[in-house]
Copies of this chain bind each other. A is one copy, B any other.
Amino acid sequence: MSLVSIGTVAFDSIETPFGKVDKVIGGACTYISLAASYFTDDLNIVSVVGDDFPQSELDFLASKGIDLQGLEIKKGEKTFFWAGKYYDNMNQRDTLVTELNVLEHFDPKLPEAYQDCKYLMLGNLTPEIQYSVIKQLKNRPKLIVMDTMNFWMDIAIDALKKVIAEVDVLTINDEEARQLSGEHALITAAKKILQMGPKYLIIKKGEHGALLFDKDNMFYAPAMPLAKVFDPTGAGDTFAGGFIGYLAKTDDISFENMKRAIIYGSTLASFCVEEFSIARLKNLTQNEINERSQQFCDLVRFDLPK
């Protein structure tokens, strides 16, 4: 089923305890669409880059079945750039540089061909842009998934709440769920957030897994304990891309199927962090994905006496 992702396509410079890379490919939309490409091939993106973005990387994305009609290339302008540094525990990072460049005046126009969109993934961006994309669709998609972050809660809470009211699934981390709801207990936070509009809430807890809530149900997905987390950049976006990619492939948005989608999202994210940038996501095999997702099953499997 037709999946449209909006978000950034970017250059990242990243420093972790394991090394340092300069101006590698990054951006929420890149990670989302690459992860989703392992599940579905009706895949379209809405984003913007400058003419400094390498044609070879665009060709690579196209080779993964990603339609680039909605990717605007701005002549004479520079691609969004982010530089960050992770510390020993990998849970904390500092942003060293943010150069908005082409993002500063980004006003996405949805190509006509994307109007049949059934699955819409709103990657982390300004709430205004996320809202504008929803409103450009003549028919409401079957499922809208939205990712966001604490930054927008700090500086644009009203605009953010307006988007949240329009979406089906919201994905945020545990601290963001606490900030958005004003509640410390995640189960209470989830109840409050579900009253803001979304039918489903995913709370991402990094190395501690993820929680899925709807009005009546709760699911706890584990994270895979990994020997080496090389670079956490893009893990959340990769998770979201695997999640919505699997839903688009199966075209089943029941709670039971969302559980599976979370396991596949977690599987893709567990690969993402094994190398810098998108390196590990470039050439995964179906076999690797099946094996890793089976490890998730084994990790939590137990039975109680009748």
A residues bordering B, Cβ < 8 Å?
A: 88-90, 184-188, 205, 208-209, 211, 218-222, 225-229, 256, 259-260, 263, 293-294, 297, 299-300, 302-305
> What is the minimal beta-carbon distance from A267 to any residue of chain B, in angstroms?
10
Chain B residues near A304 (CB-CB < 8 A): 260, 263, 293-294, 297
> What is the minimal beta-carbon distance from A91 to any residue of chain B, in angstroms?
10
Cα-based distance from A43 to B219 in the complex (angstroms): 36
A185: contacting residue among B219, B221, B229, CB under 8 A: B229
Q: A88-B184, A89-B184 are in contact. Are A302 and B260 (CB under 8 A)?
A: yes
Cα-based distance from A294 to B304 in the complex (angstroms): 8
Residue in B closest to A88 when the chains form the complex, CB atoms = B184
Chain B residues near A185 (CB-CB < 8 A): 225-229
CB pair B299–A219 under 8 Å, yes or no, is yes
Q: Which 9 A-B pairs have the closest CB atoms?
A: A208-B208, A259-B302, A220-B222, A187-B225, A300-B300, A220-B299, A187-B227, A188-B227, A186-B225
> What is the minimal beta-carbon distance from A132 to any residue of chain B, in angstroms?
35
Residue among A186, A225, A294 with the highest chain B CB neighbour number at 10 A: A225
CB pair B209–A208 under 8 Å, yes or no, is yes
Chain B residues near A88 (CB-CB < 8 A): 184
Chain B residues near A222 (CB-CB < 8 A): 209, 220, 222, 300
Residue in B closest to A178 when the chains form the complex, CB atoms = B89
Cα-based distance from A263 to B301 in the complex (angstroms): 11
Residue in B closest to A213 when the chains form the complex, CB atoms = B225
Chain B residues near A89 (CB-CB < 8 A): 184
Chain B residues near A226 (CB-CB < 8 A): 185, 187
Residue in B closest to A261 when the chains form the complex, CB atoms = B302
Residue in B closest to A208 when the chains form the complex, CB atoms = B208
Cα-based distance from A304 to B186 in the complex (angstroms): 26
Cα-based distance from A89 to B175 in the complex (angstroms): 11
> What is the minimal beta-carbon distance from A97 to any residue of chain B, in angstroms?
26
Chain B residues near A256 (CB-CB < 8 A): 302
CB pair B220–A225 under 8 Å, yes or no, is yes
Residue in B closest to A290 when the chains form the complex, CB atoms = B304
